[in-house]
Amino acid sequence: MVKSDLQKIVIFLSCLLLSSCGSRIERFQDSLEIRSQQDPVLSGDGQKLALIVEYKGRLSVQLRDLRNGEVLRLRHLSRNQPHSSPSLSWNGRYLAVIAQRGNRRLVIIEDRLTGRSHHLLTPRERIPLRLSLAPDATQVAIQMADKGKWRIELFDLSKTIESDQPRGRISNTTSPVIR
């Protein structure tokens, strides 16, 4: 009898220990009108989450601050839907997505710090399918459909947008010259 009680206590404590070691699970559900969530991507510092949500029948990018769960406002991405393939820079300053304007797909990069948007137009015969923004936002890799084949193209953004460096680091372009 004592052995059986001891086994029950060990099993109970083991279950308790295992459940307390599990990772934290969060479900983001703000509205009953959000039907699905897909394509999650984290910023390099782990503080922002971009994802595609189906809201009122339209696929749209959503950006969240993970420190407080707040949905962040996006100035230039409320139209040109559907959105797909979100990508974030290191601090979440830049958010890149593939958007639809009429019957044309284009890449839009929103600079959340300055409020500007940058449109990357591709030749009409190449259709952007997926993208990946470099952590410092100086390059973007885009998977394109081109005459029935998929190709990856790299675009240099360094002359168009300012680099997004991890907080506390100085960009090489702005560091003083030491002689």
For the domain spanning 33-179, the CATH number is 2.120.10.30
Residues 146 and 132: their CA atoms lie apart, in Å, by: 18
pLDDT value for 153: 94
Residues 61 and 46: their CA atoms lie apart, in Å, by: 18
Residues 69 and 64: their CA atoms lie apart, in Å, by: 6
Q: Are 9 and 49 in contact (CB under 8 A)?
A: no
pLDDT in tens, 23-68: 444 555 554 455 689 999 999 999 999 999 998 888 999 999 999 9
Give the start-to-end residue ranges of the domains of the chain. Answer: 33-179
What average pLDDT does range 100-127 have in this prediction?
Answer: 91
Residues 41 and 49: their CA atoms lie apart, in Å, by: 6
**32-46, 82-96, 164-178: the lowest-pLDDT one:** 164-178
Cα–Cα distances in Å, from 76 out to 16, 31, 118, 178? 48, 22, 9, 41
pLDDT value for 57: 83
